């Protein structure tokens, strides 16, 4: 087994990627404070070719050396948009007829493995603050909640890890349709 070179992986350049079809998924960051987490989410969003990342509230926006450190250029390839509040972003998503999911441990949440996103529909995944999670008012504004089953002693995962897991599953399910 030999590692593939960049040329052998046949990746799109930024201009071609921006024009390429995208997965109908938008990732919404609700007051995520770590610039490294923002960069990591942008990089994972690029990897799964989701439509966009919405940065809300105190969530930092590019350009930023700290975001670039983990995004590695995904801040340029990914479509991103800033909203003063996550509720404003959800209102925008409602206008677009999106199904909005909080990724949070709440009463009535669906386990990630049980989620069946509707093909042909736009889906939004709202991820929250590293300590406080998704704000309750934002959870209330969502159509439902997705929870990643966990089996250890900790009750949460890092927000960028969570984003990667949930984007992978949505990509797997929606690309299968």
At 20-48, the pLDDT tens digits run 999 999 999 999 999 999 999 999 999 99
Confidence of residue 113 (pLDDT cuts 50, 70, 90): very high
The range of the structural domain enclosing residue 50 comes to 14-176
Question: Is 4 inside a domain boundary?
Answer: no
Distance in angstroms (rounded) separating the CA atoms of residues 92 and 8: 40
Query: In whole numbers, what is the pLDDT of the chain averaged over residues?
Result: 96
Whether residue 110 lies inside any domain: the answer is yes
Is 83 a domain residue? yes
| Helix, strand, or coil (residue 130) | coil
Contact (CB, 8 A) for 84 and 54: no
Within-domain flag for 58: yes
How long is the chain? 177
Pairing of strands 50-56, 80-83: parallel
Q: Where are the beta strands (DSSP E) in the chain?
A: 23-30, 50-56, 80-83, 99-103, 110-111, 123-128, 144-147
**144: phi then psi, degrees, rounded to nearest 5:** -175, -175
Q: Where are the alpha helices (DSSP H) in 48-126?
A: 65-71, 74-77, 86-95
Strand partners, 50: 23
Whole-angstrom Cα Rg for the chain: 16
Q: What is the pLDDT of residue 176?
A: 86
| Region at 97 (left for phi over 0; alpha for psi -120 to 50; beta for the rest) | left
At residue 6, the pLDDT reads 81
| CA–CA distances in Å: residue 33 to residues 25, 30, 47, 92, 127 | 22, 9, 22, 22, 12
How many domains does the chain divide into?
1
Q: Residue 2: inside a domain, yes or no?
A: no
93 assigned to some structural domain:
yes
Q: Is the pLDDT of residue 112 over 90?
A: yes
State the Cα–Cα distance between residues 87 and 84, nearest whole angstrom: 9
120 in any annotated domain: yes
> Is residue 1 a part of any domain in this protein?
no
What pTM was computed for the model?
0.96
Find the CATH number of the domain harbouring 141.
3.40.1280.10
């Amino acid at each position: 087994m030999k590692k593939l070179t960049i040329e052998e992986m046949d990746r799109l350049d930024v201009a071609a990627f921006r024009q390429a079809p995208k997965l109908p998924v938008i990732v919404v960051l609700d007051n995520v404070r770590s610039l490294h987490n923002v960069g990591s989410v942008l990089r994972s969003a690029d990897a799964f070719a989701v439509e966009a990342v919405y940065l809300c509230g105190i969530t930092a926006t590019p350009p930023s050396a700290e975001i670039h450190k983990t995004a590695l250029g995904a801040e340029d390839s990914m479509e991103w948009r800033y909203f003063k509040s996550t509720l404003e972003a959800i209102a925008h998503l409602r206008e677009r007829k999106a199904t909005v999911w909080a990724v949070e441990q709440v009463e009535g949440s669906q386990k990630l493995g049980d989620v069946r996103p509707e093909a042909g529909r736009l889906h939004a995944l709202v991820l929250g603050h590293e300590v406080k999670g998704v704000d309750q008012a934002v959870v209330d504004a969502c159509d439902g909640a997705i929870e990643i089953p966990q089996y250890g002693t900790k009750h949460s995962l890092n927000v960028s890890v969570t984003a990667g897991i949930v984007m992978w599953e949505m990509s797997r399910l929606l690309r299968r349709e």
